Amino acid sequence: MKLAISKLVILLIFIVTIVGCNKKEPPVIASGTTGELTWKLFENGTLTISGKGVMPNYNYESKNPPWFGMRHKITSIIIGNDVTSVGYKAFFNCTRLTSVTIPNSIKSIGESAFAWCYGLTSVTIPNSVKTIGDFAFSECTDLTSVTIPNSVTSIGNYAFFLCTGLTSLSVDNSNTAFSSENGVLFNKTKTMLVAYPAGKKGDYIIPNSVTSIGESFRECHNLTSVTIPNSVTFIEDYAFSGCSGLTSVTIPNSVTSIGNYAFYYCCGLIEMINESSVPQTIVANVFSYVNLSACTLHVPEASIDAYHATNVWKDFGNIMPIL
């Protein structure tokens, strides 16, 4: 009996060994080098990048990544453990990409590295990454959540621009540069609102600690109303532009300046409460593509005449006292 079992075990080991030896990688349809690195694109849609050192930067004007012409075949990316950066626009417009493996050797994710990767559903940013470039994940419309590790010290403008499925941006508690609250991204001290997830729904009351709203708090189509605290003195350019679902905004009396295109294409806006007794000096583009004649502006009662006499503010259909 023991002999029979031993023979069976040996047979199984032999079969497993044979199967393992016969296991083959899918066919390679393209390969080459880029900088000091090598790459392979397999028939199953997997792109692998290996070697040691930085990935080159690309610009699509004079230097495309070598796989650019086959980008629509790419469904997954595996970056090797000795690669130290993801180059500018490296995987831009890989529209069928659904997953990417970023190793702990990566220190930077370049500008527009994964922009327009519409099918990317999740990404794990390793605890080695220090910088995330401008537009790095812009228009990754299927991304639902992102966690910023404690190593990140810099996040570029519009890094998550038009990620319309994104409902949460969370930050590791030990990060010294950034923080998050209810899925909204702030600097560490929460004095600047860095980014509001474009897919987050409903009303939002900005925390009282915030003194400035970053340039990329925009294209949040599901945001319906926002209350700005009286700690804020300046609203940056384009801050709420494209927030087409926004119907109501409250601006505190602390705000003395509103940047260009701040409420551009907020076409659903029907009510604005401006608590400032002195109308801010603004240009017409602040409310471009907003039907001001259909909007009601609520202001301090003693300041109604001043708003009627001030450019842009006078164009609101109704100017009424704050109740």
**Residue 140, pLDDT score:** 96
179-209 pLDDT, tens digit per residue, is 999 999 999 999 999 999 988 888 888 999 9
| Cβ atoms within 10 Å, residue 166 | 24
Q: What is the mean pLDDT of residues 158-172?
A: 93
pLDDT band at 271; cut points 50, 70, 90:
very high
Q: Could you tell me the fold of the domain covering 201-323?
A: 3.80.10
Cβ-contact 160, 138 below 8 angstroms: yes
Token readout for 170 is 């969370």
Q: Rounded CA gap, 195 and 179, in Å?
A: 11
CA dihedral angle for residue 287, residue 201, residue 173, residue 176, rounded to 10 degrees: -10
Q: From its phi and psi, is residue 127 left (phi > 0), alpha (psi between -120 and 50) or beta?
A: alpha
Q: Rounded CA gap, 140 and 136, in Å?
A: 9
Cβ-contact 151, 176 below 8 angstroms: no
Cβ-contact 138, 166 below 8 angstroms: no
Q: Rounded to the nearest 5°, which phi and psi values hold at 92?
A: -55, 130
- What does the mean pLDDT of the chain come to? 90
**Considering the domain 27-182 in this protein, what is its CATH number?**
3.80.10.10
Could you give the angle at the alpha carbon of 241 between the alpha carbons of 197 and 153, nearest 5°? 45
Residue 152 has pLDDT above 90, yes or no: yes
Q: What is the mean pLDDT of residues 162-183?
A: 94
CA-nearest of 236, 318, 237 to 270 is: 318
| Cβ atoms within 10 Å, residue 153 | 13
Query: In the chain, pLDDT over 90 holds for what percent of residues?
Result: 76
**Residue 11, pLDDT score:** 47
Chain centroid to Cα 164, Å, comes to: 9
Residue 268 has pLDDT above 50, yes or no: yes
Residue 305 has pLDDT above 80, yes or no: yes
Q: Rounded CA gap, 85 and 236, in Å?
A: 31
7-25 pLDDT, tens digit per residue, is 544 444 444 444 444 557 7
Least confident of 92-101, 115-124, 215-224, 294-303: 215-224
DSSP classification of residue 53: B
pTM (2 decimals)? Answer: 0.80
**Residue 15, pLDDT score:** 45
pLDDT band at 122; cut points 50, 70, 90:
confident
Residue 107 has pLDDT above 70, yes or no: yes
Token readout for 294 is 């259909």
pLDDT band at 62; cut points 50, 70, 90:
low
**Residue 14, pLDDT score:** 46
CA-nearest of 139, 119, 33 to 77 is: 119
Q: Rounded CA gap, 255 and 235, in Å?
A: 7
Residue 148 has pLDDT above 70, yes or no: yes
| Portions of the chain given CATH number 3.80.10.10 | 27-182, 201-323
In one-letter notation, the amino acid at residue 175 is N
| Cβ atoms within 10 Å, residue 3 | 7
pLDDT band at 115; cut points 50, 70, 90:
very high
Q: Rounded CA gap, 192 and 216, in Å?
A: 11
Cβ-contact 79, 101 below 8 angstroms: yes
Residues 6+ apart with CB under 8 A from 15: none
Pairing of strands 184-187, 192-195: antiparallel
| Cβ atoms within 10 Å, residue 248 | 18
